[in-house]
């Protein structure tokens, strides 16, 4: 039996690979996509989501438009890693969508999908956590319908947008704290410490592009993102952060997770947006979250390649 899946996203190059992985995986049923501000503006993330779903032959999946800004403070700036349109300036190479967004906003769409679901739904937030925080605040009675959250975000040992904060959590720390610290939904956090270790090489991307027209189009969205990660990694490759989180949703246990107490720094100082993971051996805490800390990296890359190369 398939697992119903909702992806909350801000596409984004790695989001594009994450959506493609979900579309290519028979273990899950992609029942909804919701968009949020993040890598680029909400207008661009929504347009990118629609175009990507058309490329993937999934115009049947409803797209709900979500938050255009964080819960409390204005968003300081958008990411430059993904280019001006979120897809390295190549969003125009995707097919024009044959439909518009769903009439329901992101929270309403998620609520109705959860209400109708006949089995627990996995939600995979791969952008700022604003939409999910609003859902849980407005509809706490729906929490039993959520099988688990698989969240791409946070850095255990440092960040990428500041010395301590990862982009998704930093973009709306108050929302992240609401979801990760204050709620009681089963949650696995996939931090950038692990996703960066699962970076793929330019050769991997070239080989993927040769497998199909859809794969070639996806790889064609990567130039700006790849250039950024050449500097970060020191070699010719790029991280596919969000696809790693979707891989865990598709195949639970493909990542090795360890429970830790966590907090999110919501102060207005240099550590704002940091995911604080208490790694002490002995600590009393009212709540822990599963933090993905390891994986068979070669096996994970092979899994991603096998699924993405099947796209037609």
Q: Per-residue pLDDT tens for 122-170? A: 999 999 999 999 999 999 999 999 999 999 999 999 999 999 999 999 9
Q: Which of 73, 75, 139, 241 is catalytic?
A: 241
The gap between the terminal CA atoms of the chain, to the nearest Å, is 24
Find out whether 97 and 59 touch, Cβ atoms under 8 Å: yes
Find out whether 40 and 79 touch, Cβ atoms under 8 Å: yes
> What is the token pair recorded at 43?
């207008």
Burial class (CB in 10 A: 0-12, 13-18, 19+), 131: buried
Is the overall model pTM greater than 0.95, yes or no?
yes
Q: How high is the pLDDT of residue 128? A: 98
Find out whether 190 and 150 touch, Cβ atoms under 8 Å: yes
Find out whether 249 and 112 touch, Cβ atoms under 8 Å: no
- Which stretches of the chain drop beneath a pLDDT of 50? none
CA 283 to chain CA centroid, Å, is 30
pLDDT over 90 for what percent of the chain? 94
Residues 295 and 81: their CA atoms lie apart, in Å, by: 25
Q: How high is the pLDDT of residue 286? A: 78
Q: Cβ atoms within 10 A of the Cβ of 13, count?
A: 31
Q: How high is the pLDDT of residue 154? A: 98
The verdict on whether 241 is a catalytic residue reads yes
Mean per-residue pLDDT over the chain, rounded: 96
Please, which residues have CB within 8 angstroms of residue 205's CB and are 6 or more apart in sequence? 219, 222, 226, 238
* 305 conformational bin, left if phi > 0, alpha if psi -120 to 50, beta if neither: alpha
Q: What's the per-residue H, E or C state across the chain?
A: CCEEEEEEECCCHHHHHHHHHHHCCCCEEEEEEEECCCCCCHHHHHHHHHHHHHHCCCCCCCEEECCCCCCCCCCCCCCCCCCCCCCCCCHHHCCCCCCCCCCCEHHHHHHHHHHHCCCCEEEEECCCCHHHHHHHHHCHHHHHHEEEEEEECCCCCCCCCCCCECHHHHHCHHHHHHHHHHCCCCEEEECHHHHHHCCEEHHHHHHHHCCCHHHHHHHCCCHHHHHHHHHHHCCCEECCHHHHHHHHHHCCCCEEEEEECEEECCCCCCCCCEEEECCCCCCCCCCCEEEEEEECHHHHHHHHHHHHCCCC
Length of the chain: 312
Cα angle: 90, vertex 214, 47; to 5 degrees: 45
Find out whether 307 and 19 touch, Cβ atoms under 8 Å: no
CA 226 to chain CA centroid, Å, is 18
Residues 33 and 58: their CA atoms lie apart, in Å, by: 11
């Amino acid at each position: 039996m398939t697992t119903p899946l909702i992806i909350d996203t801000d596409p984004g190059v790695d989001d594009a690979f994450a959506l493609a992985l979900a579309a290519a995986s028979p273990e899950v049923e992609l029942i909804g996509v919701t968009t949020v501000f993040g890598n680029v503006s909400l207008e661009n993330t929504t347009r990118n989501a629609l175009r990507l779903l058309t490329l993937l032959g999934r115009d049947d999946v409803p797209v709900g438009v979500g938050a255009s800004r964080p819960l409390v403070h204005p968003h300081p700036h958008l990411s430059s890693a993904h280019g001006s349109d979120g897809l390295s300036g190549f969003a125009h190479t995707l097919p024009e969508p044959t439909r518009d967004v769903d009439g329901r906003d992101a929270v309403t769409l998620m609520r109705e999908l959860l209400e109708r679901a006949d089995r627990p739904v996995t939600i995979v937030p791969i952008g700022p956590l604003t939409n999910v925080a609003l859902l849980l605040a407005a509809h706490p009675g729906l929490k039993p319908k959520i099988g688990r959250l698989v969240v791409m975000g946070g850095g255990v040992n440092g960040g990428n947008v500041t010395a301590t904060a990862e982009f998704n959590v930093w973009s709306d720390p108050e929302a992240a704290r609401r979801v990760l610290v204050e709620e009681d939904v089963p949650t696995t956090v996939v931090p950038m410490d692990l996703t960066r270790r699962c970076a793929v090489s330019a050769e991997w991307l070239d080989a993927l592009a040769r497998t199909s027209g859809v794969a070639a189009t996806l790889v064609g969205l990567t130039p700006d993102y790849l250039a950024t990660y050449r500097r970060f990694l020191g070699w010719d490759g790029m991280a596919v952060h969000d696809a790693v989180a979707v891989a865990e949703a598709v195949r639970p246990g493909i990542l090795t997770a360890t429970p830790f107490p966590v907090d999110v720094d919501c102060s207005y100082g240099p550590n704002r947006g940091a995911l604080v993971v208490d790694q002490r051996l002995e600590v009393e805490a009212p709540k822990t979250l599963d933090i993905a800390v390891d994986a068979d990296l070669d096996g994970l890359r092979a899994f991603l390649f096998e699924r993405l190369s099947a796209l037609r």
